[in-house]
Amino acid sequence: MQVDGKQNNPINSPQRKALMVDEDKDRYRRKERNDALKQAGFKVYPVLRMQDVCARCKPGAFELIVINGTQNPGSALELAEQIKANGSGQKLFVVASEGHDRDYVVSNWEELNRRIGGDRQSNETVAA
């Protein structure tokens, strides 16, 4: 099928974008998490500090936003509430051991992979 003279196939379609907010100082764990999102079909845009998210998180800019709340669950949940209040319509998940009364909080990386449809399972378990 052609649209405006261009072949319409997965190679020409825009890649799904994910914003990954991860303050973990261990770059290998951050890379493993980013790789899991890549394997699920996302181009990952990492942010290392929660304070820097607002500048990057424009409504509609990302299909998925993942916040690692294991280092600072309170700030992660506060940030998630701010993002949701902006009505961005993006999928949002916070990986944290608290805040389970919210539908977007997952308790570990395996649960996140299942919820976003990733086929790769991470061996990492979240501890607060």
pLDDT bracket for residue 31 (50, 70, 90): very high
Residue 8 lies in a domain: no
Flag whether pLDDT at 13 surpasses 80: no
Which DSSP state fits 96? -
Sign of CA dihedral 116, 90, 31, 26: negative
Note the pTM of the prediction, 2 decimals.
Answer: 0.74
Give the per-residue pLDDT at 75.
87
pLDDT digits (tens, 9 = 90+) for 63-77: 999 999 888 888 888
Parent domain of 60: 15-116
Rounded distance between C-alpha atoms, residue 92 and residue 19, angstroms: 10
Residue 87 domain-assigned? yes
Tokens of 4: 């405006």
Domain with residue 84: its CATH number is 3.40.50.2300
What is the domain count for the chain? 1
Report which of 19, 24, 17 is spatially closest to residue 96, judged by C-alpha positions: 24
What are 42's two structure tokens? 């996302």
Is there a domain that residue 128 lies in? Answer: no
Cα of 54 vs its chain's centroid, Å: 14
5 part of a folded domain = no
Residue 104 lies in a domain: yes
